[in-house]
Chains A and B, each alone.
Chain A
Amino acid sequence: AQSVTQLDSQVPVFEEAPVELRCNYSSSVSVYLFWYVQYPNQGLQLLLKYLSGSTLVKGINGFEAEFNKSQTSFHLRKPSVHISDTAEYFCAVSEGGSYIPTFGRGTSLIVHP
């Protein structure tokens, strides 16, 4: 069975600083990996996804993530954050043949001026 661990429940950072949100997964088969963002009182929206091919994937709003199969990780990065990036970020994994993705518990990114 698949599982997802987001190691940090909260990440505070100053504006224009770089940030990394960590995500590790466990699965016995090939997986598809996703990062979603949730702004306050809204639904989730897709930031980026890894389905196959290049292990470095770029998403919206300047975010990128790198799939590392040997370390079973899919960390999210941004070189310079803005106040508007303050939100909850969810990592998710889906196995082939499953309709049900597994979500991590989320990381709250707090950007301070």
Chain B
Amino acid sequence: SQTIHQWPATLVQPVGSPLSLECTVEGTSNPNLYWYRQAAGRGLQLLFYSVGIGQISSEVPQNLSASRPQDRQFILSSKKLLLSDSGFYLCAWSVQSLAKNIQYFGAGTRLSVL
């Protein structure tokens, strides 16, 4: 069966520090991968998605970047965090080539930038 791992679960970082959040998927090949951010009391904001290794699409211009160094690994990064980067970050995957794309989510990372 497929599983998705996301870590760390919580993170407290000072303003101006770097960030690296990792997400890995097991039990499937060539998935679509997604990074979302959920601010307090708001819906999901799609940040990045990827349909293959090295292929990253950005939905919102911002202080963050994403990379996909391996088929089932998706990394969210920042060189210098801002206060506004605080939020709940969710990684998700779906089966490629299907518009009927059920998304499977990780447990999330709660990031607090102080």
Q: Which residues of A contact B96 (CB under 8 A)?
A: 99
What residues of A have a CB within 8 angstroms of the CB of B108 in the complex? 41-43
Among A34, A44, A46, the one with the most B-chain Cβ atoms within 10 Å of its Cβ is A44
A82 at the interface (CB under 8 A from B): no
Cβ proximity bits B51-63 to A, threshold 8 Å, 1 near / 0 not: 1000000010000
| Number of B residues, CB within 8 Å of A | 25
Kindly state whether residue B105 has any CB partner on chain A within 8 Å: yes
Whether a CB of chain A sits under 8 angstroms from the CB of B27 is no
CB of A43 within 8 A of CB of B107, answer: yes
Please measure, in the bound complex, the distance between the C-alpha atom of A34 and the C-alpha atom of B101, giving whole angstroms.
10
Interface string of A14-42 (1 = CB under 8 A from B): 00000000000000000010101000011
Q: What is the CA–CA distance of A32 and B49 in the complex, to the nearest angstrom?
A: 19
Query: Is the Cβ of A44 less than 8 Å from the Cβ of B90?
Result: yes
Residues of chain A contacted by B110 (CB below 8 angstroms): 41
Q: Pick the contact of B49: A41, A90, A100, A105 (CB < 8 A).
A: A100
- Is A113 engaged at the interface, CB distance under 8 Å to the other chain? no
> Which residues of the partner chain A approach B88 to less than 8 Å between Cβ atoms?
41
Question: Quick check: is A98 within 8 A (CB to CB) of the other chain?
Answer: yes
Cβ-defined contact, A105 with B101, below 8 A: no
CB B48 to nearest CB in A, in angstroms, measures 11
